[in-house]
Amino acid sequence: MQNRNGELDRLPGELDTLRTYALRLAKEAPNLARDIDGAVRNVNTLNEGAHKVADGAGRIHTGAGKLNSGLGTAEKGATELDGGIGKLREGAGTLQGGMVKLSDGSSQLAGGLRDGAARIPDYDKKDRDAKTEVMADPVRLAGRALHEAPNYGTGFAPYFIPLSLWVGAMVAYMLIPPLNRRALAAGAAAWRIALAGWLPVVAVGVLQTGALLAVLHRGLGLRMAHAGGTVAFLALVTACFAAIVQWLGARFGPAGRILVLALLMLQLTSAGGTYPVQTSPGFFNAVHPFLPMSYVVEGLRHLISGGSLAPVWQACGVLAAFTACALALTAWSARGKQVWSVDRLHPELSL
């Protein structure tokens, strides 16, 4: 009971203290809501600042990571830079050595130029003109004739000799009929009739050839590299021309003379006797290999002026073929002339 009484003794004092705090609370109660609001605002502000601090701390952490990566890259770049600086140092040493060599080479070039300038000759006007002519025309054509004709007459002889032989055969068949009429009427063999009309003209042609060569050699001074071969070759030419003219006369009669003259003109323009046939129009180049005078001109050039005899042998073969074909055609024409028809016995027009 005493303890409780002691507590009761203290109770008035404690109540006074409580009363004092109650009065103070009652006194400060009107501002309590405002202080609480201000405290809430401060707490919110503190909260926002705390969040910002947290965000800043995160950014600082991210930046620190990037800074760490950048420092690693910078370290790697520094290492490469150090290596590049080493290579640059080596290149600078090489450049320095090259500059030394270049300096030495420049000195040698300068010395060589001085020596070359000292060795340049001092040409006079005559020498300068000669050197200028060489520089202007550095290439000069050097021509050498393998088998040169001594004059124009010798050069044109292979062209005019076959011309005279063709004209001789043409004139001979104006006087001698290509086919003997008595032999035709007697019914002789066709080949004998052809030979009978051909051999006399060949004999006349051989005499003409001898006279022609005598005049050319004795009178005009024609020199032949192969005289005997020329005579034999011209005898073959005479036989060939006579056979061709005989066939044209036997086959076409009086109109054959016109054909003989036309064939002569064609051969003269395509034989290449005055200028190379390659410079002629295309038509004459085309018919050149098919006419006998083309081979005669080429063969005579080699026989008179010299050279290989291969073209001569080729011409002999071609002329022999022309002769045989012409005689065969003449014999065939003679065989046709031996057959009499009503038109031959009673022609529609007689002169």
Question: Cα 119 vs. chain centroid, distance in angstroms?
Answer: 45
Tokens 């003449």 -> residue: 330
- Between CA 319 and CA 317 the distance in angstroms is 6
| Residues 172/177/179/180 CA torsion (nearest 10 deg) | -120
Q: Contacts by 304-310 with C-beta closer than 8 Å and gap 24+?
A: 304/149, 304/154, 304/157, 304/158, 304/222, 304/223, 304/224, 304/225, 304/226, 304/230, 305/147, 305/148, 305/149, 305/154, 305/155, 305/225, 306/147, 306/225, 306/226, 307/146, 307/147, 307/225, 309/226, 309/229
- Claim: this prediction has a pTM higher than 0.85: no
Question: Cα 1 vs. chain centroid, distance in angstroms?
Answer: 146
For residue 326, the model assigns a pLDDT of 96
- Measure CA of the first residue to CA of the last residue in the chain; give whole Å: 205
124 φ, ψ (degrees, to nearest 5): -85, -175
For residue 230, the model assigns a pLDDT of 92
326: closest CA among 122, 169, 167, 131? 169
Q: What's the chain look like in SS3?
A: CHHHHHHHHHHHHHHHHHHHHHHHHHHHHHHHHHHHHHHHHHHHHHHHHHHHHHHHHHHHHHHHHHHHHHHHHHHHHHHHHHHHHHHHHHHHHHHHHHHHHHHHHHHHHHHHHHHHHHHCCCCCHHHHHHHHHHHHCCCCCCCCCCCCCCCHHHHHHHHHHHHHHHHHHHHHHHHCCCCCHHHHHHCCCHHHHHHHHHHHHHHHHHHHHHHHHHHHHHHCCCCCCCHHHHHHHHHHHHHHHHHHHHHHHHHHCCHHHHHHHHHHHHHHHHCCCCCCHHHCCHHHHHHHHHCHHHHHHHHHHHHHHCCCCHHHHHHHHHHHHHHHHHHHHHHHHHHHHCCCCHHHHCCCCCC
For residue 1, the model assigns a pLDDT of 43
314: closest CA among 302, 331, 330? 302
Report residue 172 as tokens.
Answer: 């001979």
179: closest CA among 125, 80, 250? 250
Tens-of-pLDDT digits for all 351 residues of the chain?
444 456 556 666 666 676 676 666 666 656 655 666 666 677 678 777 767 866 766 676 676 667 667 777 777 877 888 787 778 778 777 877 777 787 777 778 888 877 877 777 777 778 777 777 777 666 666 666 666 666 666 777 888 999 999 999 999 999 999 998 888 777 788 899 999 999 999 999 999 999 999 898 888 888 888 889 999 999 999 999 999 999 999 999 889 999 999 999 999 998 887 777 888 888 888 999 999 999 999 999 999 888 889 999 999 999 999 999 999 999 999 988 777 665 555 555 554
